[in-house]
Structure 1
Amino acid sequence: MTNAKILVIDDNKSVLSALEILLQFEYKSVQTLFNPNQISSFPNIKDIDIVLLDMNFSAGVNTGNEGLFWLNEIKKKSPNTSVIMMTAYGAVDLAVKALKQGASDFILKPWNNERLLATVKSAFELRRSKQEINQLKKKESSLKQVINEDKNNIIGNSKALINVLNLVKKVAKTDVNVLITGENGTGKELIAREVHRLSIRKDEVFINVDMGSISDSLFESELFGHVKGSFTDAKEDRAGKFEAANKGSLFLDEMGNLSLQMQAKLLSAIQNKSVVRVGSNKAMSVDIRLICATNCNLEKMVDEGLFREDLLYRINTIHIEVPPLREREEDILVLADFFLNKFASKYDKPGLKINNLAQEKLMEYQWPGNIRELQHTIERAVILSEGAILKPTDFLLHAKSSNSFETELTTLNEMEHHMITKALELHDGNYSAAADQLGVSRQTLYNKMKKLNK
């Protein structure tokens, strides 16, 4: 017995009895209505899988308009319920009209039992298919939300960052290709996600591909997909990243790592707006917003013959340069505070603060690894912290190379100033400890500080 709910609506009680007897051995629940006006107050109409609906209820009327009216009423209340129209007056134009208005099928009275059961079974399969489709759509929508959710907020209010975000706002509403450049750790992916978030494709997927991690042998399979049996490990058909990003945005990171062979294949897909799966000869159209990123100088690579000039033109309709953190000094402490709160919550260490000397240390550092390095530095400090106040010694930063040191410190006074400052930072302003490390007396250190006007 099929676990389905059937509702029969007819003004002929003999018809209701006959259908109830026929269907009750096939379906778990069979209910009947003699008066179609009861449809409006019928409880849980959305739970009904199939409705068998007469088309004429008034004596002497055979236009089918009454049935069409009640068909529309049922569809308003329960769009996915399958409705089978029944009439003793068959007409092709009436059947077509009913199907156009949402009926799943049409049967004539008197009916053939086997044919009617087959019709009801087909209607139930249609109902189940619609339910599955709706569930898949809900899952797809949920997955898109998960994929598109902000991984991190764009934090900062420096002029350099504001200029970038203003450009993003102008570009996002268009559908042009965007190239994002900048040093490692500057937040190129966040900018790409912001372009997507502000675009007309924001409700579709944002697919991120690290081009630097894809080998030449797997390039086509990863980006364009493959068909079952096209190579040894191709055990089933698989869509590539281009297909997955259809209607949405495709973010290709680390573009400077592509070989010339891979560049040629990528250029073809971008130009033709279509892809061919490995092992297939059928081209599939794709509709994507292309966003690329790199920390390389692609123009220099073009001059050196390492990057195709025509590909650069294709991906570089709009160029967005993300500034390094050292050019966003106003944002360093803002970002540090953001990461401090984030990791203090994550590692259950509430109330952590960064003292003034430590803040100065963070501000003076050049941050070659940019925001990513700052994030890791703060996380490490939070994990290893033993008190509520983070001091300079809690932040482990890469020391400058000797060459850099010699270049920047050109006088003895500058070198002495640098050593004293670092010693005081290291010992959290403790003059005695700093003097011991420098190999001088506490009074000598005071005198030197006075001489340096400190």
Structure 2
Amino acid sequence: MAVQLLKKASVLVVDDDADVLTSMAMLLRPEVRLVHTEKNPERLPALLRQETFDLILLDMNYHRAVNTGNEGLYWLQQLRKLAPTSAVLLITAYADIDLAIRGLKDGAADFLVKPWRNDKLLTSLAEALSRRQATDKPINQSTKPTPLPLLGESTAMQTLRRTIEKIAPTDANVLILGENGTGKDVVARLIHAQSMRASQPFVAVDLGALSENLLESELFGYVKGAFTDARQDRVGRFEAAADGTLFLDEVGNLSLAGQTKLLTALQQRQVTRLGSHTPVPVDVRVVSATNASLHQLVQTDRFRKDLVYRLNTIELTLPPLRERGDDIRLLAEHFLAQYATKYGKPVPRLEGRALARLLNYRFPGNVRELQHTMERAVILSESSALTAEDLVFSSVETTLPAGLETTQLAELEKGIIQKVVDKHHGNITKAAKELGITRMALYRRLGKYDL
């Protein structure tokens, strides 16, 4: 029955490999109503304004020299906006499976591994289409996330929960410190959920992802005509969070100029949109987070001391996962149950050697890395028990030099970027290719490090 749904479906295949497009077209034309192939993803916005597709097959990489998969994730995000009613399936090589799993989190309906089996591809398309038609909302439409439980029975986590219960009902600004992946965003949402502002908006902004040019318009908004593409008034994140909580993630990445603008807004409790001279009062509680040592940045004149005082009325430090003992087992079992339910599989048990491997691993990526490891294991496992061999840790995390502090890693990244940009005499396209990131990602890092 599901396969019959394909007969009326329209399918878009996006891949830079002409042979892949030809093979897909030959396979799908007898099976579906319409097949359209596209080699250049940059043409998608114009194409999707003219045509609506039931299914979109999206490759993860589009430049021979760049195989990070970040392009696929970027275009997946764009498709959620451009084609919210389409089911998106990712096409990936085996080495890209970790990225494909990230894609599932970001709204992809499924992923197919190259080289694919024709029967498996058709079945996956039919199942994705069936799920899409069985629900009233678009398959890729995200929902407002609910606060996750702060799991853990270690002394550090019990102390943290008691502290949150004390500070949440107040209006005190909170600064959350901790390594990447320790759950700073989870804590921020819990603080909001247990506050007197819980019924009002929770607005999060990743300051590390904003360039200097975008910072002011994102935080404070703008009026029509403020700049070339400002075709209508737009509220900023401060106004959007009115009477609620504004979560400023990666606040340690703010430039000194950005720090000054943020401090002014916090002191005056008002913002002025770009292109306007009329201040707008804002009543927000600010929760901020960073993996950097703000106190060290203050000592080296890279962060304003007066802004630190504004942000950290209450300061929370989240413990790294490697210091939480048996919480590792508790969290691993929680994630196994969560993802087994999500993917319709029996909950696998952890064999003794598998548990020992988890307990002996340092988890440089902390809870986020453990979560990713468990999800990957559930997806790929074909047994009722997970062995030590089923646990594949992130190569991104495991290749980081041991013992490096966050600030040292930042300096290392800054140095590498500077060296590669200098090597290519400022040519951003060539530098981004050598670094294995997109031009947009490189521009963000250049802004982050003031290069």
Secondary structure of the equivalent of 1:320?
Answer: strand
Matched letter for residue 308 of structure 1: R
Deviations 1:279-306 (A, max 9, x none): 0000010000110000000000011111
Q: What does residue 252 of structure 1 align with?
A: 248
Kindly indicate whether structure 1 or structure 2 has the higher relative contact order, using CA contacts under 8 Å at least 6 residues apart.
2
Secondary structure of the equivalent of 1:250?
Answer: strand
Aligned partners of 1:223 and 1:402: how far apart in 2? 33
Matched letter for residue 184 of structure 1: N
Q: Are 1:382 and 2:366 counterparts? A: no
Decide whether aligned partners of structure 1 residues 359 and 242 sit closer, same or farther in structure 2, where only a CA change above 3 A counts: same
Q: What does residue 199 of structure 1 align with?
A: 195
Aligned partners of 2:296 and 2:178: how far apart in 1? 15
How big is the shift at 1:149? 2.2
Q: What does residue 184 of structure 1 align with?
A: 180
Q: Are 1:349 and 2:360 counterparts? A: no
Matches within 5 A, 1:434-453: none
Q: What does residue 303 of structure 1 align with?
A: 299
Deviations 1:363-389 (A, max 9, x none): 111111000000111111111112111
How big is the shift at 1:147? 3.6
Q: What does residue 290 of structure 2 align with?
A: 294
Instruction: Find 2:216's aligned residue among 205, 211, 220.
Output: 220
Residues 192 and 198, structure 2, Cα contact 8 Å, conserved in 1: yes
How big is the shift at 1:404? 6.2
Q: Are 1:149 and 2:146 counterparts? A: yes
Q: Are 1:263 and 2:259 counterparts? A: yes
Provide the aligned C-alpha RMSD in A.
2.0
Aligned partners of 2:206 and 2:399: how far apart in 1? 31
Q: What does residue 162 of structure 1 align with?
A: 158
The TM-score normalised by the length of structure 2 is 0.56
Secondary structure of the equivalent of 2:367?
Answer: helix
Secondary structure of the equivalent of 1:271?
Answer: helix
Secondary structure of the equivalent of 1:301?
Answer: helix
Matches within 5 A, 1:401-412: none
The TM-score normalised by the length of structure 1 is 0.55
Aligned partners of 1:356 and 1:331: how far apart in 2? 16
Residues 207 and 244, structure 1, Cα contact 8 Å, conserved in 2: yes
Decide whether aligned partners of structure 1 residues 226 and 402 sit closer, same or farther in structure 2, where only a CA change above 3 A counts: closer
Aligned partners of 2:375 and 2:248: how far apart in 1? 28
Deviations 1:154-186 (A, max 9, x none): 211111111111111111111011000000000
Aligned partners of 2:216 and 2:316: how far apart in 1? 28
Matched letter for residue 322 of structure 2: R
How big is the shift at 1:397? 2.8
How big is the shift at 1:338? 0.7
Deviations 1:388-409 (A, max 9, x none): 111000001369789969xxxx
Decide whether aligned partners of structure 1 residues 398 and 209 sit closer, same or farther in structure 2, where only a CA change above 3 A counts: closer
Matches within 5 A, 1:1-80: none
Q: What does residue 335 of structure 1 align with?
A: 331
Unaligned runs of 5+ in 1: 1-145, 406-454
Aligned partners of 1:353 and 1:291: how far apart in 2? 38
Aligned partners of 2:144 and 2:336: how far apart in 1? 25
Decide whether aligned partners of structure 1 residues 208 and 162 sit closer, same or farther in structure 2, where only a CA change above 3 A counts: same
Matched letter for residue 209 of structure 1: V
Decide whether aligned partners of structure 1 residues 174 and 383 sit closer, same or farther in structure 2, where only a CA change above 3 A counts: same
Residues 178 and 291, structure 1, Cα contact 8 Å, conserved in 2: yes
Decide whether aligned partners of structure 1 residues 178 and 351 sit closer, same or farther in structure 2, where only a CA change above 3 A counts: closer
Matched letter for residue 295 of structure 2: E
Aligned partners of 1:239 and 1:402: how far apart in 2? 40
Secondary structure of the equivalent of 2:316?
Answer: strand
Instruction: Find 1:230's aligned residue among 204, 215, 226.
Output: 226
Aligned partners of 1:153 and 1:271: how far apart in 2? 33
Aligned partners of 2:400 and 2:244: how far apart in 1? 49
Q: What does residue 243 of structure 1 align with?
A: 239
Q: Are 1:275 and 2:232 counterparts? A: no
Q: What does residue 104 of structure 1 align with?
A: none
Deviations 1:21-71 (A, max 9, x none): xxxxxxxxxxxxxxxxxxxxxxxxxxxxxxxxxxxxxxxxxxxxxxxxxxx
Aligned partners of 2:290 and 2:345: how far apart in 1? 36
Aligned partners of 2:399 and 2:337: how far apart in 1? 32
Instruction: Find 2:168's aligned residue among 167, 172, 187.
Output: 172
Secondary structure of the equivalent of 1:329?
Answer: coil
Residues 150 and 161, structure 2, Cα contact 8 Å, conserved in 1: no
Q: Are 1:372 and 2:375 counterparts? A: no
Q: Compare CA radii of gyration and give the structure with the larger one.
A: 1
Deviations 1:429-452 (A, max 9, x none): xxxxxxxxxxxxxxxxxxxxxxxx
Q: Are 1:362 and 2:334 counterparts? A: no
Aligned partners of 2:402 and 2:213: how far apart in 1? 42
Unaligned runs of 5+ in 2: 1-142, 404-451
Residues 369 and 394, structure 2, Cα contact 8 Å, conserved in 1: no
Residues 147 and 206, structure 1, Cα contact 8 Å, conserved in 2: no
Q: How many residues align?
A: 260
Residues 354 and 391, structure 1, Cα contact 8 Å, conserved in 2: yes
Aligned partners of 2:286 and 2:336: how far apart in 1? 34
Decide whether aligned partners of structure 1 residues 372 and 319 sit closer, same or farther in structure 2, where only a CA change above 3 A counts: same
